[in-house]
Every structure is written in structure tokens, then in C-alpha cells.
């Protein structure tokens, strides 16, 4: 992979693997945050992706997750498949999954579906400290392992909370079905909080994104997007 990227002269700093790389339940929640055997038969390690740093996506958990039996979770109302969205409230959980992923070459943990998780678990809204505890456990584990965090499908409160979570370095976007005001707020807040804007949020994605095939799956290779935009703006001014 590294040789191919060099051949096509594509600058990159990492590869981001979306949700296809781990197993899911019927409700599409994360069942086990481990490499799928049919995608990575030999497991996920630095050599399997050419020693390229990884940003690894994760989504919501449900009561059918393999982790629920061994860690403390808070759950919400069951969905159409009988599974309820669940959030880990165990200080040992994130050190476990992030610690394993760090050995695979992960430099950033992406937590997606923040809006769905928050909306599906009433206790996160009724208990004044529960949501903060969940995200604090995530931040503390990332800090101990020296990895960063990227939020996706955020609400304004998630962004504001990052003021006390230094490991959260970037955000992607508000949920697709969120009120238009959320999208606006989630576009304006990040710079004031020293958060990098992901390409899909900032609106300059495809000029700096290429897709590579990994078997039947695609990998998104992201270049240094802010630098790309900065150079483009500089050229425009020079003209």
C-alpha cells in the first residue's frame, strides 16, 4: 500500500477505516470492535496495512454487544430488533479496546453516532453527570495511550464538552437528520474550541480524498486537508 501511494504521488498521514472493519449486530450496533475475519484473516496489525497509521471508526453499542457481559453498560429503550443502545460506564472498557487497537497502529479513535446514542438512552439526558462520565472515560483512556479522538454525528453539547477533553482533536459533522441549526452550530463551534474540521464537515472533502481498494472494501486515504486548503487559498490570493 505504501508503495502504491508513493507511485500515484498521493500525500497522506493516515488511513481511516470506516465501520466495515468490525462486526455488527442485527441493529447495526457494534458487536465486537475487532477486525472481521473475512476482511482481515490474519488480524489487523501494522504490516497488514503497510505500517500506515490508522484512524479507526466505532459506532454505538447495543445490549447484544459481546462486551455487555464483561463490562458495565447503561442501556436505553429497545429498538425494532429488540436491541437497546448501550454506553459503556466502566473505567476499564476504553483502556481495553483502545489498548488493543494501539497495537494495530491506531493513532485516532473515531466515535460515531453520538447523536443516536444520546437520543436513545434517556438516562444520558436525565442524569446530570452520566454523559460526561462516558465521554470522560473515553478521553482518559486515549490520554493514557497517547491517541487522539474524533467525534462524529455530534450535538452542540458534545462539542462544548471537548473544552475539558484535550484528546478530542477533530469532529466530523452533525447527524444527517439533525435540525439545520445543529449543522450550522457544529460547523461554527469547532474552530473556537481548537478542533480540526473533518473534510465532510468543512466542505472540501473530495479534493483531498482518494479511495483505495482493499479486496472488496474501500479505504479512504486522507491527506493533510487543512494544509491543502491553505495552499489553495494562498494560490487564489496570489492570482
210: helix, strand or coil = strand
Q: Which of 75-84, 120-129, 176-185, 189-198 has the lowest mean pLDDT?
A: 176-185
Say whether pLDDT at 150 is over 70.
yes
CA distance 155 to 185: 9
In this prediction, residue 85 carries a pLDDT of 92
CATH number at residue 77: 3.20.20
- Evaluate whether 46 touches 1 at the Cβ level (below 8 Å): no
List phi, psi (to 5°) of 151.
-95, 150
Of 144, 147, 76, the residue nearest 110 (C-alpha): 147
In the chain, % of residues over pLDDT 90: 39
pLDDT tens readout for residues 57-111 = 999 998 989 999 999 999 987 766 667 899 999 999 999 999 999 999 999 999 9
Number of domains the chain is built from? 1
List phi, psi (to 5°) of 82.
85, 0
pLDDT tens readout for residues 28-60 = 899 999 999 998 888 887 776 667 889 999 999
Which whole number is the average pLDDT over 133-151?
A: 96
Which residues form the domain of 209? Answer: 2-238
pLDDT tens readout for residues 209-234 = 333 333 334 344 433 333 333 333 33
End-to-end CA distance of the chain: 36
pTM (predicted TM-score): 0.77
Q: Which of 89-98, 113-122, 165-174 has the lowest mean pLDDT?
A: 165-174
Amino acid at each position: 500500500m505504501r508503495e502504491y501511494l508513493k507511485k500515484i504521488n498521493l500525500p497522506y498521514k493516515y488511513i481511516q477505516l470506516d465501520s466495515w472493519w468490525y462486526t455488527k449486530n442485527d441493529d447495526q450496533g457494534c458487536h465486537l470492535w475487532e477486525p472481521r475475519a473475512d476482511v482481515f484473516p490474519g488480524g489487523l496489525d501494522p504490516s497488514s496495512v503497510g505500517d500506515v497509521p490508522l484512524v479507526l471508526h466505532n459506532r454505538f453499542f447495543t445490549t447484544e454487544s459481546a462486551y455487555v457481559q464483561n463490562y458495565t453498560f447503561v442501556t436505553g429503550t429497545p429498538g425494532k430488533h429488540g436491541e437497546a443502545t448501550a454506553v459503556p460506564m466502566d473505567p476499564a472498557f476504553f483502556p481495553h479496546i483502545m489498548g488493543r487497537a494501539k497495537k494495530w497502529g491506531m493513532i485516532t479513535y473515531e466515535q460515531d453516532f453520538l447523536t443516536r446514542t444520546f437520543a436513545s438512552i434517556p438516562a444520558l439526558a436525565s442524569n446530570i453527570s452520566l454523559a460526561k462520565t462516558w465521554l470522560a472515560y473515553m478521553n482518559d483512556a486515549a490520554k493514557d495511550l497517547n491517541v487522539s479522538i474524533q467525534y462524529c454525528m455530534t450535538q452542540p453539547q458534545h462539542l462544548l464538552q471537548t473544552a475539558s477533553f484535550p484528546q478530542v482533536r477533530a469532529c466530523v459533522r452533525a447527524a444527517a437528520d439533525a435540525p439545520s441549526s445543529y449543522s450550522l452550530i457544529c460547523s461554527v463551534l469547532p474552530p473556537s474550541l481548537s478542533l480540526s474540521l473533518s473534510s465532510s464537515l468543512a466542505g472540501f472533502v473530495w479534493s483531498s480524498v482518494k479511495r483505495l481498494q482493499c479486496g472488496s472494501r474501500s479505504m479512504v486515504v486522507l491527506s493533510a486537508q487543512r494544509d491543502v486548503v491553505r495552499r489553495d487559498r494562498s494560490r487564489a490570493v496570489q492570482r
